[in-house]
């Protein structure tokens, strides 16, 4: 099975559409659409453009040469999350260091008083 066929099926099932439903939206016969999903044939450029629009993705993604917009957004969000996690870790380490300094000062004051 081609990348195109795999992605086409994946996108259709994610939208919870049957082959018949998507074929009707595209104005093609169900068996033609089925051939696309089974890797027997590929649609022309016009149909590729319609598929990309229908599935809210790019022709590049459908053809296997790019990641999807959703994947790209996920990766971007992941990078932001990891950056924030590093900042939290750094702040936590600073708090631990300041807490240790305060505990040392309190111990020193206790010794002076006693």
| 3-state secondary structure (DSSP) of residue 33 | helix
> What count of other Cβ atoms lies within 10 Å of the Cβ of residue 7?
19
Q: Are 84 and 40 in contact (CB under 8 A)?
A: no
Whether the pLDDT of residue 68 is over 80: the answer is no
pLDDT given at position 2: 87
pLDDT for the residue 72: 67
Q: Where are the domains of the chain?
A: 3-66, 68-114
Q: Is the pLDDT of residue 69 over 80?
A: no
- Calpha distance 40→94 (Å, rounded): 60
- Both structure tokens of 6: 């795999």
Instruction: Return the CATH number of the domain spanning residue range 3-66.
Output: 1.10.260.40
Going along 1-114, which residue ranges are E strands?
A: none
**pLDDT for the residue numbered 28:** 93
What are the pLDDT digits (tens) for 7-40?
999 999 999 999 999 999 889 999 999 999 999 9
């Amino acid at each position: 099975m081609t990348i195109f066929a795999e992605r086409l099926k994946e996108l259709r099932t994610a939208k919870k559409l049957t082959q018949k439903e998507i074929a009707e939206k595209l104005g093609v016969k169900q068996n033609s659409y089925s051939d696309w999903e089974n890797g027997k044939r590929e649609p022309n450029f016009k149909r590729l453009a319609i598929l990309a629009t229908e599935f809210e993705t790019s022709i590049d993604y459908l053809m296997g040469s790019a990641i999807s917009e959703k994947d790209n957004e996920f990766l971007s969000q992941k990078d932001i999350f990891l950056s924030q996690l590093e900042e939290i870790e750094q702040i936590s380490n600073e708090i631990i260091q300041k807490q240790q300094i305060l505990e040392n000062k309190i111990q020193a004051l206790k010794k002076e008083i006693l």
